[in-house]
Structure 1
Amino acid sequence: MDELQLIAERTGLVPLAESDALGAARARLMAEIAATETENVAPLKNRRRWVWTGVGAAGLAAAITAVVALAPAGMEPPTAAADPVAVLRAAAAAALKTPDKSPKPGQFVYTKTKQPDGVRESWLSADGTHDGLIKMPDGSADLVPGCRNGRAQVYKGAEPLKGVTEPCTPRPGYRADLPTDVDAMFAHLNGDNADHSGEKGDYNAMGKDVLALANETYLPPAVRAALYGAAAKVPGLRAVDDVKDAAGRPGVGITWPLGPGDDPKVAKPTMIVFAADTFLYLGGNGTAVTASGVVDAVGQRP
């Protein structure tokens, strides 16, 4: 029997304790399991199987069942600071298990994000050649001109200026062009390209770039996994237990070191938040991705 199926069946037979009580313990256990799976994140067919020394599939399922079932509801189990590298590797492993549905060129990547000042919605062209739209929390809307044959239409407000275009480079909402290898992804995030916003070695800027890609971009599972695997290579990461995203969902946060010129008394480190139980991406500093998907036209929702 498949290990994941066996684990799911065993954990499904017992009631869950309250999420707040088990979040940290469950996060650490799942992170340690997933860490053995993703030393180098690659497409699914190339990954190694789990290696859990001295424990068979039935023993592993029993261990997880014990963690889920025996911790009394309302009693916080003993906790220790989560390992940020293990958490990110667990997030990479979780990303690899998500469905891989490639958008068609004429479709749009939809994302709904809850922010401190309201809700933001975006419709980004999957291939970057069609006009998209971003609805801001204040109710205003920004057009995202598509780039066709190296030129983009210029708008004045919502009206296109007839015959006026400007040079452009397509910025697709679907990023199948990004590396699926961890080292190559790290080099990309730290290199001279449109996905890199800071100086080389500015890891706080890299954290913001990781958030930007994770938030409103449709990434194939292997690319998203490589993104989190590359993030795990950043020195100075910290894990923060028992955080909540802007939607109130419990998670584990990973913070990046501040930039070279940042004042630690003033600057706020970039944080990325993963679900404490599944390690799926939730959001970042003060934000939460509450809906996403692929649609056929601007204004549609999944």
Structure 2
Amino acid sequence: MDELKLIGDRTGSVPLAESAALAAARVRLQAEIAAAGTETVVPLRKGRRWAWTGAGAVGLAAAITAVVALAPVEQVGLEPPAAAADPVMVLRNAAASALKTQDTPPKPDQFVYTKTKQPDGERESWISADGTHDGLVKLADGSFFPLPGCRNGRAQVYKGDDPLEGITEPCTPRPGYRADLPTDADAMFAYLNADNADHSGEKGDYNAMGKDVVALANENYLPPAVRAALFGAAAKVPGLRAVDHAKDGAGRPGVGITWPLRPGDDLKVAKPEVIVFAADTFLYLGGNGTAVTASGVVDAVGQLP
């Protein structure tokens, strides 16, 4: 048996990381080798190649495979193949990637612009950064509906897209810039599982939580720490599953993570929510029914980034 070929077959075509990035993996590998009880090391060709005899060859191959497949991307410098991805590790890597993104908070009078691809076409939204200015949503059919700002606890009432003169209703500002959300994964999980405006299901309805994660990630400006907490909280959901060959709403391929349905849910009605990340960077792409194709901060409704 060619032991090095065995190791090569195990690791496939995954590129090696820089030496410094492999430090943590090297320590783990050495521990795996020691635990496996590697047999005698024999030089096959002086100065060129070594072989591990006996069961140690298989143990070493398994140890290297474990390091390549299971170590976090930010520690090892590698990315797991989408078809064999660990859903928890994918979400942790997505959180790590989110922390590295640039943060340029919008001004209170600016708007968070988002274009999303949906099953019925494209949707564009201009959401007030602080929730007090009048925003707008443009639907796929070209129609619009207003997002009235909440000022002094009151918001304009509309009939269709026409304001009803002199008629307002109580409100709470819904900012597009969500610096109000938790920056800790545990706190974010508790928030997403509680009774509040961002939780659409009952406590313990994790598929609903998945939809809430997508909704928050789609049309809101989330500071890096908040976005990282969002994906870190998602990683705490029991029963997550990786999806092979996942695509977002725009058809872009990536690594998909799906949330479990509740026992007794009708599969004809309740569809598992899938969140999709780029396989190379782990940046958020969208859901299985939506895709964020453009986003940014603008000064006025109707402007594009």
Larger RCO, structures 1/2 (Cα 8 Å, 6+ apart): 1
Show the counterpart of 1:272: 275
Residue identity in the other structure for 2:223: P
Say whether the 8 Å CA contact 1:31–1:87 is kept in structure 2: no
Q: Distance in 2 between matches of 1:110 and 1:258?
A: 32
Tell me by how many angstroms 1:210 deviates.
0.6
Q: Distance in 2 between matches of 1:199 and 1:266?
A: 17
Q: Distance in 1 between matches of 2:68 and 2:136?
A: 41
Q: Distance in 2 between matches of 1:117 and 1:31?
A: 39
Tell me by how many angstroms 1:83 deviates.
0.5
Tell me by how many angstroms 1:276 deviates.
0.8
Residue identity in the other structure for 2:72: I
Q: Distance in 2 between matches of 1:226 and 1:146?
A: 27
Question: Match of 1:241, SS?
Answer: strand
- Name which one, 1 or 2, has greater alpha-carbon Rg: 2
Residues 1:134 and 2:173 are matched in the alignment: no
Question: Match of 2:189, SS?
Answer: helix
Say whether the 8 Å CA contact 1:272–1:284 is kept in structure 2: yes
Q: How many pairs are equivalent?
A: 244
Within a 5 Å distance, the mapping from 1:33-44 to structure 2 comes to 33-34=72-73
Q: Distance in 2 between matches of 1:211 and 1:119?
A: 16
Say whether the 8 Å CA contact 1:30–1:90 is kept in structure 2: no
Residues 47-101 of structure 1: per-residue CA shift (max 9 Å, x gap): xxx4x5xxxxxxx6xxx5xx9xxxxxxxxx9985311000000100010000011
Q: Distance in 2 between matches of 1:29 and 1:209?
A: 32
Q: Distance in 2 between matches of 1:143 and 1:120?
A: 13
Tell me by how many angstroms 1:139 deviates.
1.3
Residue identity in the other structure for 2:296: G
- TM-score, normalised to structure 1's length? 0.75
Residues 159-205 of structure 1: per-residue CA shift (max 9 Å, x gap): 32221100011110000010001100000001121111111111111
Two-structure CA RMSD over aligned residues (Å)? 2.5
Residues 240-269 of structure 1: per-residue CA shift (max 9 Å, x gap): 122122222210110001134412355310
- TM-score, normalised to structure 2's length? 0.74
Residues 1:254 and 2:254 are matched in the alignment: no
Residues 1:296 and 2:299 are matched in the alignment: yes
1:105 maps to which of 84, 104, 108? 108
Say whether the 8 Å CA contact 2:247–2:288 is kept in structure 1: no
Question: Match of 2:254, SS?
Answer: strand
Say whether the 8 Å CA contact 1:205–1:259 is kept in structure 2: no
Q: Distance in 2 between matches of 1:112 and 1:265?
A: 29
Show the counterpart of 1:22: none
Show the counterpart of 1:120: 123
Residue identity in the other structure for 1:173: G
Show the counterpart of 1:86: 89
Show the counterpart of 2:165: 162
Q: Distance in 1 between matches of 2:91 and 2:84?
A: 14
Q: Distance in 2 between matches of 1:114 and 1:227?
A: 22
Residue identity in the other structure for 2:71: E
Q: Return 5+ residue gaps in structure 1 as ranges.
A: 8-27, 38-49, 53-59, 68-76
